[in-house]
């Protein structure tokens, strides 16, 4: 005997796909027609759902998608033919046959991978990652120079050379200029079809950082970097959670783990069905306000695994019951604001919320014939 339970979603992350399209077009307008805009959809499109986000970006005119690994690339390829898919890091020397059979583009991060691409034959397209001051992945400038003198790049030339800025969101940081100059030297040496230094934050550093292509992730999903213009990108997400219970608490009582909050008056509190299990940062304790209609309600005490507690003493009783939802993210309080309150990065907040909440898509266009094979993302509405 199988017990089948149908549960309503207590936590819903709403994702506005029209806003993602608008943000892509905003960046394309900013960099101009001579600069290609590629989209970074790694880590399940920052938690927002790889397939639905990819389809939205393709409809918006994107022709190149970057993913984290081969698993994400194969999922994309199973649904989208004809779109260029590049893999930031996964072993080409081990999985080369998968890359070739599914028309995937490896990003080469070291000399071993470079030589593996060479043995695959002249038909293998690849992107070359150059380390210019981030100290993560990529061939060093010395590596590139040595391979150039060995005429490696004459035998198999990269179609795109890329690097990554360490301080792109700090407009006055001298590291940006240092990395730009190092990248320019490699770009001029290899003369690739395209060069790409700037990701989302770097777009706002100006045209000298754009080269031939920018790789945009965070900005597409409504995340603002410090160097961005005001209202440069639209918010993409809203977060709603359900009130599960309402309780009356006398003065002086502890609320939550560690008794980090005690009531200073007789209080009416609501238990809301969201916690760090869903991606709400634990560090939001006693710092966050949620919205309920035109009212604002403070979070009391610590964030639990599945619940938070809010003060609704000053909200009319008829507005709060076990079917009421409160707003944690909105146009007026975005993922950037939540991240600031919690003292964490907005990218971390978004990917964790996307993984932990039921996702509901707004402005999802009816799939065209080219996209009819796309399944729904698990757990989405």
Three-class DSSP labels, 27-45? HHHHHCCCCEEEEECHHHH
Residue 151: how many CB atoms within 10 A of its CB? 8
DSSP state of 153: H
CATH number for region 17-221: 3.20.20.10
Q: Give Cβ neighbours of residue 319 (< 8 Å, ≥ 6 apart).
A: 292, 293, 295
Q: Catalogue the active-site residues.
A: 42, 257
pLDDT of 380 reads 65
User: How far is Cα 55 from Cα 194, in angstroms, rounded to an integer?
Assistant: 24
- pLDDT given at position 228: 62
Mean pLDDT of 342-364: 94
- Average pLDDT value for residue range 274-290: 94
pLDDT of residue 345: 93
For domain 237-333, which architecture applies? Beta Barrel (2.40)
> Quick one: tokens of 257?
């783990």
- Using one digit for the tens of pLDDT, what is the confidence trace for 194-236? 999 999 999 999 999 999 999 999 999 999 876 566 568 999 9
Beta-carbon-side half-sphere exposure of residue 221 (alpha carbons within 13 Å): 31
Picking from 301, 310, 303, 318, the residue whose alpha carbon sits closest to that of residue 267 is 310
Rank 92-101, 229-238, 240-249 by mean pLDDT and report only the highest.
Answer: 240-249
Does position 6 have pLDDT exceeding 60, yes or no? Answer: no
pLDDT for res 374: 35
Q: What is the DSSP letter of 126?
A: -
Percent of the chain predicted with pLDDT > 90? 76
Per residue in 234-244, pLDDT tens? 999 999 999 99
Enter the tokens of residue 45.
Answer: 């499109």
* Domain spans, the chain: 17-221, 237-333
pTM score of the predicted model: 0.90
Count the Cβ atoms, other than its own, within 10 Å of residue 156.
19
> What whole-number distance in Å separates Cα of residue 104 and Cα of residue 92?
10
**Residue 233: DSSP 8-state:** S
Write the DSSP string, 72-99: HHHHHHHH-SSSEEEESS--HHHHHHHH
Are 43 and 351 contacting, i.e. CB atoms less than 8 angstroms apart? yes
Give 169's pLDDT tier (boundaries 50, 70, 90): confident
Residues 84, 109 contacting (CB under 8 angstroms): no
pLDDT value at residue 226: 62
CA distance 120 to 93: 9
- Reported as a pLDDT band with limits 50, 70 and 90, residue 366 is low
The region of weakest confidence among 58-67, 286-295, 359-368 is 359-368
Chain segment 54-84, per-residue pLDDT in tens: 999 999 999 999 999 999 999 999 999 989 9
Helix-then-strand count for the chain, H and E: 12, 18
- Tell me the average pLDDT of the chain: 89
Written as six digits, the tokens of 162 are 């890329």
What is the reported pLDDT for 8? Answer: 56
- The position carrying tokens 């639905």 is 52
pLDDT at 247: 93
SS3 377: coil
The pLDDT, as a whole number, for residue 25 is: 96
β pairing state of 325-329 and 237-249:
antiparallel
Query: Does the pLDDT of residue 376 top 60, yes or no?
Result: no
Whether the pLDDT of residue 4 is over 50: the answer is no
């Amino acid at each position: 005997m199988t017990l089948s339970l149908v549960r309503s979603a207590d936590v819903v992350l709403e994702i506005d796909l029209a806003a993602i399209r608008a943000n892509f077009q905003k960046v394309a307008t900013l960099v101009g027609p001579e600069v290609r805009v590629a989209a970074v959809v790694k880590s399940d499109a920052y938690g927002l759902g790889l397939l639905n986000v990819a389809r939205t970006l393709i409809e918006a005119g994107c022709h190149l998608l970057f993913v984290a690994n081969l698993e994400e690339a194969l999922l994309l390829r199973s649904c989208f033919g004809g779109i260029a898919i590049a893999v930031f890091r996964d072993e080409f020397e081990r999985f080369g046959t998968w890359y070739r059979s599914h028309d995937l583009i490896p990003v080469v991060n070291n000399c071993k991978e470079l030589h593996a691409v060479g043995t695959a034959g002249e038909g293998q397209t690849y992107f070359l990652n150059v380390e210019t001051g981030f100290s993560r992945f990529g061939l060093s400038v010395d590596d590139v120079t040595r391979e150039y003198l060995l005429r490696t790049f004459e035998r198999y030339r990269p179609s795109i050379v890329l690097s990554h800025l360490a301080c792109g969101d700090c407009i006055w940081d001298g590291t940006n200029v240092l990395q730009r100059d190092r990248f320019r030297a490699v770009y001029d040496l290899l003369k690739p079809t395209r060069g790409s230094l700037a990701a989302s934050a770097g777009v706002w550093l100006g045209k000298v950082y754009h080269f031939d292509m920018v790789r945009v992730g965070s900005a597409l999903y409504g995340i603002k970097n410090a160097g961005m213009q005001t209202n440069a990108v639209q918010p993409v997400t809203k977060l709603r959670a359900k009130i599960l219970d309402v309780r009356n608490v006398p003065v002086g009582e502890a609320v939550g783990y560690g008794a980090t909050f005690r009531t200073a008056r007789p209080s009416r509190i609501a238990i809301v069905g969201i916690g760090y299990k869903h991606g709400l940062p634990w560090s939001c304790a006693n710092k966050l306000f949620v919205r309920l209609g035109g009212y604002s309600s403070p979070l009391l005490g610590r964030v639990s695994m599945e619940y938070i507690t809010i003060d609704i003493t000053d909200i009319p009783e008829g507005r709060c019951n076990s079917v009421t939802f409160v707003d944690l993210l909105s146009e007026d309080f975005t993922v950037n604001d939540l991240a600031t309150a919690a003292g964490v990065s907005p990218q971390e907040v978004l990917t964790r919320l996307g993984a932990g909440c039921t996702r509901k898509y707004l402005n999802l266009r009816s799939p065209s014939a080219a996209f009819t094979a796309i399944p729904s993302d698990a757990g989405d509405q």
